[in-house]
């Protein structure tokens, strides 16, 4: 059995930072850091906004059913199926963002939003956190209110269908897969 040692020797101290590219959805910085031994080096850091994913669950005749959205993704240049999700606006709490994104993308409101996880998408070079919420007690209260360039369709998927397809095209978004894993853990299925 090993003793736990302090992590101080693993910490790199920030020396300086320079933005090398500023895009609408992220900023790339070169960050110079020094480790405890005094050596220093430049690293790349991608500042992306925090993100929220919502798993809208509702009762179905064969078990739980879920609202999913189908939309074209410009990175992969194809249509994918995901849970409602989006950027957390400055000053907005993750829970507020979850409710807003659910309403905007599906027209549904949840009586209960339960935070089931928060993860770092890629801590090697990205600074953001993605939050996952389970939405229960869904009620259709409005039509979609999509962003200017957002086009998406809302579908209902049964648990077994999602379980079978998750991780395969078109259910291959890493954030959706991560959210599904968190859902399976929170619901005691794994």
Query: In 3D, which of 25, 14, 74 has the Cα closest to residue 47?
Result: 25
Query: In 3D, which of 83, 73, 80, 110 has the Cα closest to residue 95?
Result: 110
Region of residue 91 (left: phi > 0; alpha: psi -120 to 50; beta: else): left
Rounded CA Rg of the chain:
19
Altogether, the residues listed in the chain come to a count of 190
Instruction: Identify the residue whose tokens are 């064969």.
Output: 62
Q: What is the pLDDT of residue 185?
A: 98
Q: What is the pLDDT of residues 30-82, one digit of tens each?
A: 999 999 999 999 999 999 999 999 999 999 999 999 999 999 999 999 999 99
Q: What is the pLDDT of residue 87?
A: 96
**Measured distance CA(168)–CA(174) in Å, rounded:** 11
Q: Tokens at residue 142, please?
A: 């409005």
CATH fold, domain 51-186, is Nucleoside Triphosphate Pyrophosphohydrolase (3.90.79)
**166: helix, strand or coil:** coil
Whether a cis peptide bond, with omega within 30° of 0, leads into 170 is: yes
Q: Which residues of the chain have pLDDT under 70?
A: 1-3
Strands 152-158 and 130-140, how do they pair?
unpaired
Question: Structural domain boundaries of the chain?
Answer: 9-47, 51-186
Q: What angle do CA 152, 154, 155 make, to 5 degrees?
A: 135
Those residues with Cβ within 8 angstroms of residue 177's Cβ, 6 or more apart along the chain or in another chain: 166, 167, 171
């Amino acid at each position: 059995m090993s003793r736990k040692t302090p992590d101080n020797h693993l910490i790199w101290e920030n020396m300086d930072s320079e933005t090398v590219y500023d895009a609408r959805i992220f900023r790339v910085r070169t960050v110079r850091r020094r480790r405890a031994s005094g050596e220093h080096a430049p690293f790349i850091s991608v500042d992306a906004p925090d993100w929220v994913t919502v798993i809208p669950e509702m009762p179905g005749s064969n078990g739980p059913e879920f609202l999913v959205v189908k939309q074209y993704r410009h990175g992969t240049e194809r249509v994918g199926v995901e849970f409602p999700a989006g950027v957390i606006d400055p000053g907005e709490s993750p829970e507020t963002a979850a409710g807003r994104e659910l309403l905007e993308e599906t027209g549904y409101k949840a009586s209960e939003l339960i935070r089931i996880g928060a993860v770092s998408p890629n801590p090697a070079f990205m600074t953001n956190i993605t939050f996952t919420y389970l939405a229960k007690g869904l009620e259709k209260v409005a039509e979609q209110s999509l962003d200017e360039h957002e086009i998406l369709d809302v579908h209902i998927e049964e648990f077994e269908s999602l379980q079978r397809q998750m991780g395969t095209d078109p259910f291959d978004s890493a954030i959706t897969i991560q959210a599904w894993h968190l859902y399976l853990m929170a619901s005691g299925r794994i």
